[in-house]
């Protein structure tokens, strides 16, 4: 079941360096929300705070809260591994296990996460995940072939299949199409429009037009003064951000006059 | 493939066609109100314009969002720009129907001339036909059919001139003169609806050819689109 994601006064540090500060907004469930902003404003770090991957970096820490639905994911008794199972992530560069088969790449997440299954069920889960990721028809006859033989765009959709195979509630995407050609990029964008029927999606992108195309909601972050942490400038419906933003900095950024 | 973009584009175009249907309904209502001197129907036509206006604003907003979010190019860009124009032309045609309805109300106490009413029915029928041709040729991207609007425009212009000529012969009674003068305005409104239909046809030509040219130039009426 998809849930909304509420960020409450969220901040993050790497040692003494504060990446971003006091970010509060709610990502609505079953929608695509884009986080845009210039390099170094902390948007990827923010994404990694939503599935507790920020804390695996040495000396990294956070402040404030992140709620998945009603649950605070940084609560005292919350297992970070269970958070990462519920909040899947797709990275900038497709990162399948290249020598492992297409089938095993999808099955790996299910097995690693200890999802109980019978043999036939695993086949069904792999197939439905590949179908949801829009890859099934292209790979159904070569499931035992190495994932490294797939094109970049196919590999990225394989990673999406792996991420959704464990039935997460939220899908995080960190510039998922930035390493892909235009056609593969459009396929990923179409896929997001389909996946949002089932999942809450948060995407970080450097490509403003991509945010405009795929996101229902958009958050604009920036660094107001050099050396300062990134801050949330504006969060609104995407059409508002790109037609009539409420803040001059947002306007300057989306029109290409700054950043 | 940009599935959601294509879907948004299709929905916008369907909405433009719906707006055209609303304008046609309004036009038929205005002509009926005129024939029957039906003030209630005239009021309905006036109130119905709010629905056309709502559709107009919705299409404007949709186009704004589509341009901002989807950056259409090539034939998609031409379609979006054409819809921006067509939307305005249809809304204006709807406004002319309101003016006709208001003129029906203004002349309710005056005695009409049956021959002249018949002339107005002809102008109205031609305006309706032109709107239908404009909308259908836009939907089908049918350049030849769109160009046919030039010929239809000549017919509606001639019918309009006949109405004006008939009014001139109406005689000297003040009530009849007032009625006749107001009917010249009705005829002019119908003829202008025909002009907007021609403008819609020019937008069809723009989508198909990628070049914007007026079918006829009002200041050089003999210079018609050659190809």
User: In this predicted model, what pLDDT tens digit does every residue of B3-38 receive, in sequence order?
Assistant: 788 999 999 999 999 999 999 999 999 999 999 999
| Superfamily of domain B3-215 in the CATH hierarchy | Phosphate transport system protein phou homolog 2; domain 2 (1.20.58.220)
What's the average model confidence in pLDDT over A172-179?
Answer: 92
pLDDT score for B227: 42
Q: How far is the C-alpha of B89 from the C-alpha of B140, rounded, in Å?
A: 18
pLDDT on residue B223: 59
Residue B125 CB burial class (10 angstroms; 0-12, 13-18, ≥19):
middle
Q: Which residues of A touch B1 (CB under 8 A)?
A: 186-187, 190
Which pLDDT does position B3 carry in this prediction?
72
A228, A19 contact by CB (below 8 A): no
pLDDT in tens, A29-59: 999 999 999 999 999 999 999 999 999 999 9
CA gyration radius, chain A: 18
Percent of chain A with pLDDT over 70: 97
Shortest distance between the Cα of A106 and any Cα of chain B, in A, equals: 25
The answer to whether B21 touches B2, Cβ cutoff 8 Å, is no
Q: How many residues does chain B have?
A: 227
Q: What is the pLDDT of residues A72-102, one digit of tens each?
A: 999 999 999 999 999 999 998 888 999 999 9
pLDDT band at B83 (very low <50, low <70, confident <90, very high): very high
Q: What is the count of residue pairs from A and B with beta carbons less than 8 Å apart?
A: 31
A71 touches chain B (CB under 8 A): no
Minimum mean pLDDT range among A17-31, A103-117, A191-205: A103-117
Q: How many CB atoms lie within 10 A of CB B127?
A: 31
What residues of A are in contact with residue B64 (Cβ under 8 Å)?
Answer: 239, 243
**Mean pLDDT score of chain A:** 93
Residue ranges of the domains in chain A?
A: 5-94+169-254
Minimal Cα–Cα distance from A78 to chain B, Å? 38
Is the Cβ of B5 closer than 8 Å to some Cβ of chain A? yes
pLDDT for residue B226: 45
Quick: pLDDT tens for B164-193: 999 998 877 888 899 999 999 999 999 999
- Across the interface, whether the CB atoms of A239 and B4 are under 8 A apart is answered no
Instruction: Record the tokens describing residue A193, joined without a space.
Output: 């429009």
> For B39-56, what is each residue's pLDDT tens digit?
999 999 999 999 999 999
ipTM over 0.90: no
Separation of alpha carbons A73 and A143, rounded Å: 36
CB contact under 8 A, A212 and B68: yes
B89 and B200 Cβ atoms separated by less than 8 Å: yes
User: If you measure CA to CA, which chain A residue comes closest to B72?
Assistant: A213
The whole-number pLDDT of residue A116 equals 65
C-beta atoms of B65 and A189 within 8 A: no
Burial (CB count within 10 angstroms: exposed 0-12, middle 13-18, buried 19+), residue A65: middle
- Tell me if A190 and B4 make a contact (CB, 8 A cut-off): yes
Angle between helices B74-106 and B3-36 (to 10 degrees): 20
Domain boundaries, chain B: 3-215
pLDDT for the residue numbered A112: 79
Is A213's Cβ below 8 Å from some Cβ in B? yes
Question: What is the mean predicted confidence (pLDDT) over A134-144?
Answer: 95
Task: Please answer whether residues A156 and A94 qualify as being in contact, where contact means their C-beta atoms are separated by less than 8 angstroms.
Answer: yes
Using one digit for the tens of pLDDT, what is the confidence trace for B134-152? 999 999 999 999 999 999 9
**Residues of chain B contacting A213 with CB distance shorter than 8 Å:** 2, 4-5, 69-70
B224: helix, coil or strand? strand
Q: Residue B1 pLDDT more than 60?
A: no
Distances (CA, A) of B3 to A152, A191, B6, B10, B154: 21, 9, 5, 11, 43
Q: Cβ of A212 and B3 within 8 Å?
A: no
CA nearest to B224, candidates B149, B138, B155: B149
Mean pLDDT over the full length of chain B: 94
How far apart, in whole angstroms, are the C-alpha atoms of residue A253 and residue A256?
5
Is A190 in Cβ contact with B69 (below 8 Å)? no
Q: Does A209 touch chain B (CB under 8 A)?
A: yes
Q: What is the value of pTM for the model shown?
A: 0.84
Give the residue from chain B lying closest to A211, CA to CA: B69
Among B64, B65, B67, B71, the strongest candidate for a mutation testing the A interface, having the largest count of A CBs within 10 A, is B65
What is the residue-wise DSSP string for chain A?
----EEEEEEEEEETTEEEEEEEEEEE-TTSEEEEE--TTSSHHHHHHHHTT-GGGSTTEEEEEEEEETTEETTSTT--HHHHHHHEEEE-SS----TTSBHHHHHHHHHHHTT----HHHHHHHHHHHHHHTT-HHHHTT-TTSBGGGS-HHHHHHHHHHHHHHT--SEEEEESTTTTS-HHHHHHHHHHHHHHTTTSEEEEE-S-HHHHHHH-SEEEEEEESSTTSPEEEEEEEEHHHHHHS-SSHHHHHHHTTS--
Instruction: Name the B residues in 52-71 with CB < 8 Å from any A CB.
Output: 64-65, 68-71
Chain B contact for A190, CB < 8 A? yes
User: Does B224 touch chain A if contact means CB atoms closer than 8 Å?
Assistant: no
> CATH fold of A5-94+169-254, please?
Rossmann fold (3.40.50)
CA distances from A210 to A25, A205, A245 (A): 21, 7, 17
């Amino acid at each position: 079941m998809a849930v909304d994601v509420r960020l409450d006064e969220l901040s993050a540090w790497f040692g003494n360096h504060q990446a971003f500060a006091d970010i509060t907004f709610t990502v609505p469930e079953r929608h695509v929300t884009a986080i845009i902003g210039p390099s170094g404003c902390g948007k990827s770090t923010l994404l990694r705070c939503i599935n507790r991957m920020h804390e695996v970096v040495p000396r990294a820490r956070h402040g404030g809260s992140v709620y998945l639905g009603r649950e605070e994911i940084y609560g005292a008794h919350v297992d970070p591994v269970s958070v990462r199972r519920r909040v899947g992530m797709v990275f900038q560069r497709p990162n399948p296990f290249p020598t492992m088969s297409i089938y095993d790449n999808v099955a790996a997440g299910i097995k690693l996460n200890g999802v109980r299954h019978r043999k036939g069920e695993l086949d069904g889960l792999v197939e439905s995940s590949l179908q949801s990721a829009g890859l099934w028809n292209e790979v159904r006859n070569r499931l035992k072939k190495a994932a490294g033989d797939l094109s970049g765009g196919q590999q990225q959709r394989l990673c999406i299949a792996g991420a959704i195979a464990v039935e997460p509630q939220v899908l995080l995407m960190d510039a998922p199409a930035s390493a892909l050609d235009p056609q593969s990029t459009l396929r990923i964008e179409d896929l997001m429009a389909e996946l949002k029927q089932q999942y809450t999606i948060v995407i970080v992108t450097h490509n403003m037009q991509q945010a405009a195309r795929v996101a229902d909601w958009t958050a604009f972050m920036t660094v107001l003064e050099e050396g300062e942490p990134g801050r949330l400038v504006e969060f609104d419906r995407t059409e508002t951000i790109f037609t009539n933003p409420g803040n001059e900095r947002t306007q300057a950024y989306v029109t290409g006059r700054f950043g | 493939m940009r599935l959601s973009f294509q879907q948004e584009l299709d929905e916008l175009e369907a909405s433009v066609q719906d707006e055209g249907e609303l304008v046609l309904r309004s036009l038929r209502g205005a002509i009926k109100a005129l024939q029957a001197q039906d003030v209630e129907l005239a009021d309905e036509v006036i109130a119905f314009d709010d629905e056309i206006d709502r559709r107009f604003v919705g299409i404007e907003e949709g186009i704004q969002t589509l341009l901002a979010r989807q950056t259409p190019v090539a034939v998609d860009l031409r379609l979006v720009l054409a819809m921006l124009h067509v939307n305005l032309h249809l809304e204006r045609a709807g406004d002319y129907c309101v003016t006709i309805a208001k003129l029906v109300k203004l002349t309710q106490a005056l005695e009409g001339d049956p021959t002249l009413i018949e002339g107005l029915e002809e102008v109205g029928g031609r305006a309706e036909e032109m709107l239908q041709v404009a909308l259908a040729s836009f939907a089908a991207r049918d350049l030849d059919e769109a160009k046919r609007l030039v010929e239809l425009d000549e017919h509606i212009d001639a019918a309009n001139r006949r109405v004006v000529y008939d009014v001139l012969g109406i005689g000297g009674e003040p009530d009849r003169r007032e009625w006749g003068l107001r009917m010249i305005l009705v005829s002019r409104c119908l003829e202008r609806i025909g002009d907007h239909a021609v403008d819609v046809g020019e937008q069809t030509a723009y989508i198909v050819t990628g070049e914007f040219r007026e079918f006829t130039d009002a200041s050089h009426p003999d210079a018609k689109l050659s190809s």
